[in-house]
Every structure is written in structure tokens, then in C-alpha cells.
Structure 1
Amino acid sequence: MTEHLYVLGHPVGHSKSPAMYNAVYEKVGLDWRYELMDIPEKAAAESFLAQRDFLSVNVTTPYKPEAFEAADVRAASAMLAHGANVLANKNGTLIAYNTDGQGCVSYLERAGVKFRGTSVVVCGTGPTSLSILHAVAQTGPAELILMGRDKVRARKVMRTYADELGALVGHTVDMPAFKEGHLSFAEMYRQVAFKFGSYETSRQAIAAADVIIDATPLGMNEGDSAPFDTALLHGGQTVFDVVYGHGETALAKAARAAGCRFIDGAGMLVGQAVVTVNILRDISEEAALDIPEDELFDIMARAAGFNL
């Protein structure tokens, strides 16, 4: 029986996902077809999700909140991010996940980025930012600062995240880290200093950060500026941007000029795809997908044409 899988969003014509996932399914001999589902209208996207005529859907801008609402069951990663980028259909039940954070962190650690004991700034207040914030928190930074254009909104989003994390810690069995050497939910709730700010009021924090992660969509359109004053950047910092494939962004150009180590979002795309394949292995009980993560990463990176 052919299983259908999609990437849902608008626009998605540039997406590398079909090439990556189909390379894996073809390699292991599964009759699974992964295709683009480019839907401009919100109502039509909601209708597509409601029909549930798929094994899974990867969800990108702007439909992560709609995917979250469509789910019957939500993993902690989706609940804390208030948005889902993966919906898996297990016998008619839609399960929501957010793999952005785990994919981001797993790739950055693969690239040699160290988080333990550092100061990390995450730019943006949407689901992608929160997913990354949560995954970074599990690595054990000394402080983790959520930043946005509006300090009041950043405060609200961070407080909501911290309250919801605290509720999970207080009312469930401690959730383990997804990787050996990381922190459990209870450990990160107690040990990490969660902070917030705006790009204007927290200039000193940006300058003092060891790692800066831009999880905003800035850079996807020609002429987009960086989210903050890039004069604050300097050598010794690592700057990561979730955007990839749109040429040299303003942030990339400034980070390289300042002597920072700059990394774009291509590796994160592959990293979260690896997480998604492992989810599908579990919900479908498909033994053919029991592939070592390093091998999965290499297959998908090559299929996407990435030199990672």
C-alpha cells in the first residue's frame, strides 16, 4: 500500500524535503511518496489537514499553529512551542510534534558548537523560536535569553513557556533529555537562567552572547535586515540563522565581516528530517527505517545537495 507524505506551507516550491525523504524511502524499499503541498489559503490548508489523507505532514510557514490545532495528541515539544511542524497519522489519530529545536541543536552540536555553561540568545517569539529555546535549554547553558522586537511580548512568551515547563515538571514523571549528556526537564527548569529582552533594550546581552540563534524569517526576502544591530557582533561568537537557500542574508554578511563563525539553516533542515524519520519509524513500526542517525543524515544531506 502506498503511503502519502507531504510538506505543507506557502511557498514551498524551494523545499528540499521531497528529495531528502524520498531518497531514504527509496533506499529502504518503501512504497512511500513524499510530495509538495503548496496551499496559499488558510481555510484550504485546514481542510487538507482535516481530511487526514496522509501518513505524515511536515509543516512550514505559515501553518504551524493550524497543524497544532488539528492534532488529537500533542508531544511536549509541540505543546511548549505552541506550534507543530510534524503531524503523524497513527491509525487515524494525529500526533503533533515540533522537531525544529531538536534538529537545530543536534546539527549545531554535530558542527562542534558547545552550549554547556554558555550565554545563548534566541531571536524571535514564534513556534520555531520556542522549539529551539527548549532544545537549547536541555543542553545546559548558563543563561538563555529570548529576544524580540517588543520586550513586553518577549516577556509574555518567555513567562508562558516557563510556566508551562514548570507545570510539566510538577505534574508528570520527569521527561528525560533526548540525548545523553543533556538535561532532563526538571534539571533544566532548576539550572538554566531563563531571561527575555528586546533587540534595543538588551544590546549588552547580544554583545556578551556566546551563541546567537536567529529563528525569525528575516532573510527570506530580498532586502530583509538583520533582527538586531549587527555592530554588536564580534569575533568569538557563533551566529546561526534558520534561513537557508536565499543567498547571503544581512545577518550572514555582517557576522562573517565581524569575524564570527556563521552557520546557516541547511543542516538544521536535515537534522529535523532525521528526527522526523525516527518518529515515522516508531509510529508505523516500520523496521526498514531503523537506520543509524549518522547514515540517515548523510543520505538526506546528499539528496538535498548540501555539503555538510
Structure 2
Amino acid sequence: MQLLAVFGKPVLHSKSPQIFNTLFSKSNIDAFYTRFRVESGHEVVDAIRNFGIAGANITTPFKEAVLMCLNSVSNEVMTIGSINTIVFKDGKTIGYNTDYYGVTKAIEDSGVKIKGKSAIVLGAGGAGKAAAYGLAKEGASVTIVNRTLLKAEKAAKKLGCNFAPMEQLAMLLKTTDVLVSTILPDANPLLGITLPSNLAVLDANYRTSSIAAQATEQGCKIIPGERWLLRQAELAYFHFFGDWPNIETMEQALLNAKPANPDLLHCVELENKSIITSQKSELVIPIDDKTEMELVDILDEERSKAFGN
């Protein structure tokens, strides 16, 4: 049985396992997809190698941290500077980015044509850079707005788009067609700003965010963050298996997705890795050299983020 996983910190909230495991079941693929909680980019790659993980998705905060830990990366990764998909084959790790595809396909799915549109991307981290790359690639005029202006400037110069400080956000939004937010769900630099009624808003968070709530209240067109998740997973699946998945099956899996089972969270030693597939682990924490107290703290954090206090 092939093992695949999503890596993050936190990661128990991820709905990727529900999508991929449904695809495996419907397609009779002998594989299992779970979640791995690690503490660094190096730990991501170590776990992939040690546990024999054939394919991995990477989420916050490791999309940039894993970049220098891989054997090779694709062309779009060289430009974007972040990775969200890793294939482990013949002893080599290969990094890809499917976020840019997820963003543009999600927007197009909503009926918005990207070419010729004016777009703002909030955030200049891995997801923000991928969003800016995808939008620019499809013909939009893109401005990256970030709290740290120097970071926005550096990303914009590499991606061939514009950048601006947060202080200019209200002015820029007056002539903006598409807003993509990649910032934390509780952060909202739009407070006090009246959004254009024709604005289309895509928030990377598929949990409730302050920006999405405000945009909904002000009558903007809302593009669900789950659509981004679904579409990036579609291209990731292609990288894993060399074939395109059934998008309708993925949509149904996401619609019916249930929260992770809190009784199937496992701290695993390498020699006992078979427990992952035999017990269908919802979350795996490699023990490595972590103390018992450290493992307890990690489990508590994951439960809190996924299920609340």
C-alpha cells in the first residue's frame, strides 16, 4: 500500500485526506493518505524518506522552508519560490507548486474571467506568491499588498507584478476586480473599508475568516477557499499518479467531509510505521527525539486548532 500525506503545523484541520482517500476508494487504488505534524522543513523531507511517503502536500508554514531540502524542483517552483507538492520516486524528492493552478481554476469556476482584470493579493508568503504567479500568468494586472513592504517588493520583482503598502489598500480596491487573501483568518486589513460591489473575493482559508465575513456582508462575490483546495489537489494527484482524477468525486468528498477522528492520532516510531496504514491514522507525529511532554503539547495544540478548546 502506498502512503501519502499532508504536512503542516497545525495540520489536523486539513481536509486533504478526505479528498484523496475517497478518490483511492472509488478508483481501487491501494493507497492511504494521512496527516503528518512536523516542526521544520527538514523534518518534512526526513519523514518522507524514512516513512516511504510516495506523495506529499505541504501547507503552512513549510511551503518555503522545504525548498532547499529537495533533490529537484519544477520550473514554476523556481519562479514562485514555494512548494506545496512533493513526489518521492526512485529515492529522489521532486518539488512542485499546484497552488497557482488551484487559485486560477477556483476563480474561473466561479465565472470570473481573469484576463485583463485588476487583482490584489494579500500576503507575500508561499501561497500569496503562488496566487500572484497564477493570476499574472493568466493575464491579470496583479498587485501584492503585504504588511512588510520589503517582502512584497521582493516577491513582486521576481514575479513581474506590482506591490504596495497596506496604507494604499483602500485606494487600490476602488479599481480592483479580484481580491485573493492568503493571510491568517483573524487578520483583516479591510476593516473600515467599503468594498466594491463587483469585487470577487477568494480567501485561502476554508475555515471562517474575518475578510470573508466582511466581503459577504458587503455583497461581494465570494469564491470559497475550499475550491482552491480542491483544484490544487487535482493537479497534485496528477503529479502523484500521472492521471487526472474525477473532479465530481472530489467535490462530493469535500461536501461530505467529516472532522478527523480524535481517537486516531498517533505518535509513531519509525520501526512501528505499519500502524499508520493498519489503523488508518488521522494524524501522525514522528517521535524522533521528542519528549513525552513535547508530544502531549503537540497533540493538545492540534486538537485545539481542529476542534476548539
- 1:295 aligned residue: 248
Q: CA offsets per residue over residues 88-135 of structure 1, 9 Å max, x none? A: 012222110111110121122112122121110011111111111111
Q: Give me the whole-angstrom Cα distance separating, in 1, the residues matched to 2:2 and 2:136.
A: 36
Q: Equivalent residues in 2 for 1:151-166 (5 A)?
A: 151-162=149-160
- 2:116 aligned residue: 117
Q: Give me the whole-angstrom Cα distance separating, in 1, the residues matched to 2:40 and 2:244.
A: 37
User: TM-score if structure 1 supplies the norm length?
Assistant: 0.77
Q: CA offsets per residue over residues 145-200 of structure 1, 9 Å max, x none? A: 111113333112211333xxxxxxxxxxxxxxxxxxxxxxxxxxxxxxx2110110
Instruction: List alignment gaps of at least 5 residues for structure 2.
Output: 259-309
Instruction: List alignment gaps of at least 5 residues for structure 1.
Output: 163-193, 283-288
- 2:129 aligned residue: 130
Matched residue SS, 2:227: helix
Match of 2:210 among 250, 255, 260: 250
Match of 1:241 among 172, 178, 203: 203
Matched residue SS, 2:168: coil
Q: Give me the whole-angstrom Cα distance separating, in 2, the residues matched to 1:258 and 1:148.
A: 23
Q: CA offsets per residue over residues 56-105 of structure 1, 9 Å max, x none? A: 11111111123222221111222222111110012222110111110121
Q: CA offsets per residue over residues 286-308 of structure 1, 9 Å max, x none? A: xxx4545x435435434537xxx
Q: Give me the whole-angstrom Cα distance separating, in 2, the residues matched to 1:140 and 1:43.
A: 36
Change in CA separation of 1:202 and 1:15 when aligned onto 2, cut-off 3 Å? closer
Identity rate, percent: 25
Change in CA separation of 1:158 and 1:41 when aligned onto 2, cut-off 3 Å? closer
Change in CA separation of 1:84 and 1:290 when aligned onto 2, cut-off 3 Å? closer
Q: Give me the whole-angstrom Cα distance separating, in 1, the residues matched to 2:218 and 2:224.
A: 16
Query: For residue 179 of structure 2, what is the amino acid of its counterpart?
Result: I
Matched residue SS, 1:55: strand
- 2:304 aligned residue: none
Matched residue SS, 1:145: strand
Tell me, yes or no, if the aligned pair for 2:40 and 2:65 is still in contact at 8 Å.
Answer: no
Q: Give me the whole-angstrom Cα distance separating, in 1, the residues matched to 2:52 and 2:73.
A: 19
Q: Equivalent residues in 2 for 1:146-185 (5 A)?
A: 146-162=144-160
Q: Give me the whole-angstrom Cα distance separating, in 1, the residues matched to 2:149 and 2:43.
A: 34
Change in CA separation of 1:235 and 1:290 when aligned onto 2, cut-off 3 Å? closer
The Cα RMSD (Å) is 2.0
- 2:85 aligned residue: 86
Tell me, yes or no, if the aligned pair for 2:237 and 2:244 is still in contact at 8 Å.
Answer: no
User: TM-score if structure 2 supplies the norm length?
Assistant: 0.77
Matched residue SS, 1:121: strand
Across the two proteins, how many residue pairs are aligned to each other? 258
- 1:190 aligned residue: none
Does residue 1:276 correspond to 2:275, yes or no? Answer: no
